[in-house]
Chains A and B, each alone.
Chain A
Amino acid sequence: MRRISLYSLDSLFGEISKSMTLYIPASDNAGGAVYTKYEDGVEYLNTLNTVKSPKNFFFPHTEDLMEFKLQGKNIDILDIRQESEDFAVFGVRGCDVKSFDILDRVFLSDPVDSYYATRREHGVIISLACTKPSETCFCTTFGIDPTEPMGDISAWMTESHLYLQPVTEKGKALMSKIEHITEACDDSEVLAQKDKTKNILSKLPLKDLSTDAFGSGKTKELFDSPQWAELSQSCLGCGTCTFVCPTCQCYDIKDFNTGSGVIRYRCWDSCMFSEFTKMAHGNPRLTQTERFRQRFMHKLVYYPENNDGLFSCVGCGRCLSKCPISMNIVKVMKSLGGDKNE
Chain B
Amino acid sequence: MQKITRDQIVSKAVSLLQDGTVSAVLGWRQGEFCYDVTPSVFNTAEDIEANFVWNDFCGANFSKYLVSKTKNIDGKLLVFLKPCDTYSFNQLLTEHRFNRESVYVVGIPCEGMVDISKVKAVSGEGIVCAESKGAGLSVTTIYDENPKEIPYAEVLSERCLNCKSKKHVAYDELLGDEGEVIDSARFDEVEKLESMTSEERFAFWQGELSRCIRCNACRDVCPACTCEKCVFDNPNSGAESKAPTNSFEEQMFHVIRAFHVAGRCTDCGECSRVCPQNIPLHLLNRKFIKDINSFYGDYQAGAEVGMRAPLVDYDLGDLEACDVFERRDSE
| A residues at B contact (CB < 8 Å) | 28-32, 34, 48, 51-52, 61-62, 132-136, 200, 203-206, 230, 233-234, 236-240, 242-244, 252, 254, 256, 265, 267-270, 273-275, 278, 320-322, 324-327, 330-331, 334
Contacts and interface: CB of A to CB of B under 8 A. Distances in A.
A135 B233 contact: no
Contacts of B40: 230, 233-234
9 contacts: A30-B208, A132-B124, A204-B126, A236-B274, A240-B217, A270-B242, A274-B233, A325-B39, A330-B32
A54 B68 CA distance: 36
The 7 closest A-B pairs by CB, nearest first: A267-B243, A324-B274, A134-B125, A326-B36, A238-B217, A236-B220, A30-B278
A135 B245 contact: no
A325 B60 contact: yes
B117 interface: yes
B273 A324 contact: yes
A206 B33 CA distance: 10
Given A134-B126, A135-B33, A239-B214, A322 B276 contact: yes
Interface string B176-212: 0000000000000000000000000000000110010
A127 to B, nearest CB: 19
Contact of A234 (B33, B65, B277): B65
A267 B124 contact: no
B143 interface: yes
Given A135-B127, A238-B221, A331-B38, A30 B211 contact: yes
A204 B39 CA distance: 25
A103 B273 CA distance: 31
A61 B221 contact: no
Given A132-B125, A204-B142, A234-B65, A325 B244 contact: no
Interface in B97-146: 116-117, 121, 124-128, 141-143
B95 interface: no
Contacts of A200: 126, 142-143
Nearest to B243: A267
B243 A325 contact: no
B269 to A, nearest CB: 13
Contacts of B127: 135
Contacts of B41: 233
B297 interface: no
A146 to B, nearest CB: 13
B17 interface: no
B276 A326 contact: no
Given A29-B207, A32-B277, A278-B235, A239 B215 contact: yes
Given A133-B125, A324-B217, A324-B274, A268 B142 contact: no
A244 B142 CA distance: 25
Nearest to B213: A243
Contacts of A269: 242-243
A299 to B, nearest CB: 18
Interface centre among A30, A200, A270, A278 (most CB of B within 10 A): A30
Given A135-B125, A239-B216, A267-B245, A31 B278 contact: yes
B9 interface: no
Given A135-B125, A243-B213, 19 more contacts: A29-B207, A31-B121, A61-B213, A62-B244, A133-B126, A134-B125, A135-B33, A135-B128, A200-B142, A204-B142, A206-B32, A238-B217, A239-B214, A265-B245, A273-B242, A275-B233, A322-B276, A326-B37, A326-B38
Contacts of A134: 125-126
Contacts of B38: 234, 325-327, 331
Given A52-B213, A135-B33, A326-B37, A244 B233 contact: no
Contact of A30 (B32, B242, B277): B277
B122 to A, nearest CB: 12
Contacts of B142: 135, 200, 203-204
A225 to B, nearest CB: 17
A336 to B, nearest CB: 15
A66 to B, nearest CB: 15
B240 interface: yes
B228 to A, nearest CB: 11
Interface centre among B31, B121, B279 (most CB of A within 10 A): B31
Contacts of A51: 276-277
Contact of B245 (A48, A256, A326, A334): A256
A243 B207 CA distance: 20
Contacts of B207: 29
Nearest to B116: A321
Contacts of A239: 213-217, 242
A48 B208 CA distance: 22
Interface centre among B117, B240, B273, B279 (most CB of A within 10 A): B117
Interface string B56-77: 0000100001000000000000
B274 to A, nearest CB: 4
A134 to B, nearest CB: 4
Nearest to B274: A324
A62 B32 contact: no
B215 A320 contact: no
Contact of A135 (B126, B208, B213, B242): B126
Given A268-B243, A275-B235, A326-B31, A48 B125 contact: yes
A268 B242 contact: yes
B215 A240 contact: yes
Contacts of A30: 208, 211, 277-279
Nearest to B39: A234
B13 to A, nearest CB: 17
A23 B142 CA distance: 31
Contacts of B219: 238
Contacts of A331: 31-32, 38
Contacts of A326: 31, 36-38
Contact of A273 (B33, B233, B273): B233
Contacts of B242: 239, 252, 254, 267-270, 273, 275
